């Protein structure tokens, strides 16, 4: 007596192939999503680390030094808003500014950051880079220096500080740093969309 051989029919094979294909698509999408999330977390971490480094450096120097008002005699017309911060005292002459391509591009109505703008510090002729443009790109870097009064008498006489307008007469440094921090290649894909608008008060 000949036994029948059990085998898959063509329909059963096709069903198995379809199921395997669906599972593969689901796994691929899940892997892609996890990869993008991991990359986005890393981008966020890089931007936060660079911003934190900048805040710590500026805070350390602001605690020890004073604003070099002799560098700002020409800022009356701009309400003391400048792209360069000058400090002086214990650490000598310090200069903070942004360097590189700080302008983002708009392509097809979407903001794309491809520059290499970094925050720089110059101390006694030696230039140091405070941010890594391979980790974060900066844009719109400006400093708001106080006092911002057009009357230079605030800088020369304590008598001007006797009234209620005492904010112009602080002896310690007082300034704001305003900037936009972007992840590298911001705008090219969702995973790189990390943007931190920053306003720091010192």
Higher-confidence residue of 124 and 153: namely: 124
Residue 63 within any structural domain of the chain:
yes
| Least confident piece of the model among 21-25, 62-66, 76-80 | 76-80
Q: Looking at the 3D structure of the chain, how many domains does it have?
A: 1
DSSP secondary structure letters along 127-176: EEE-S-TTTEEEEEEEEEES---S-THHHH-GGGGSSS-GGGG-SS--EE
Q: Which domain holds residue 138?
A: 10-201
Residue 140 within any structural domain of the chain:
yes
Q: Tokens in use for 61?
A: 């120097």
Higher-confidence residue of 111 and 12: namely: 12
Q: What is the pTM of this model?
A: 0.75
pLDDT (0 to 100) of residue 159: 59
Judged against a pLDDT cut of 70, whether residue 91 lies above it is answered with yes
Give the separation between CA 81 and CA 77, rounded to whole angstroms: 9
Q: What percent of the chain has pLDDT over 90?
A: 36
Residue 5 within any structural domain of the chain:
no
Q: Tokens in use for 144?
A: 């708001």
Residue 156 within any structural domain of the chain:
yes
Judged against a pLDDT cut of 50, whether residue 150 lies above it is answered with no
Residue 105 within any structural domain of the chain:
yes
Residue 117 within any structural domain of the chain:
yes
Residue 1 within any structural domain of the chain:
no
Do the beta carbons of residue 86 and residue 72 sit within 8 Å? yes
Higher-confidence residue of 105 and 124: namely: 124
Backbone region of residue 74 per phi and psi (left: phi > 0; alpha: psi in -120 to 50; beta: other values)? alpha
Residue 155 within any structural domain of the chain:
yes
pLDDT (0 to 100) of residue 190: 79
Average pLDDT, integer, range 166-191 = 76
pLDDT (0 to 100) of residue 52: 94
Distance of CA 155 to the CA centre of its chain: 33
pLDDT (0 to 100) of residue 171: 52
């Amino acid at each position: 007596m000949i036994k029948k051989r059990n085998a898959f029919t063509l329909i059963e094979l096709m069903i198995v192939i379809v199921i395997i294909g669906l599972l593969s698509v689901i796994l691929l999408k899940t892997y892609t999503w996890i990869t993008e999330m991991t990359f986005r977390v890393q981008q966020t971490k890089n931007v936060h680390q660079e911003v934190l480094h900048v805040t710590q450096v500026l805070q350390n120097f602001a605690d020890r030094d004073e604003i070099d008002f002799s560098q700002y005699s020409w800022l009356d017309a701009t309400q003391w808003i400048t792209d360069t911060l000058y400090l002086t005292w214990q650490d000598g002459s310090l200069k903070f500014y942004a360097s590189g391509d700080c302008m983002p591009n708009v392509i097809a109505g979407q903001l794309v950051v491809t520059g290499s703008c970094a925050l720089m510090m110059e101390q006694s002729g030696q230039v140091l880079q405070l941010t890594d443009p391979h980790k974060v790109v900066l844009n719109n870097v400006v400093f708001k220096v106080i006092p911002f009064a057009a009357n230079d008498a605030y800088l020369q006489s304590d008598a001007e500080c006797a009234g209620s307008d005492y904010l112009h007469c602080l002896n310690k440094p007082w300034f704001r740093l305003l900037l936009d921090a972007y992840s590298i290649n911001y705008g090219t894909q969702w995973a790189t969309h990390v943007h931190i608008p920053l306003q720091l008060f010192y």
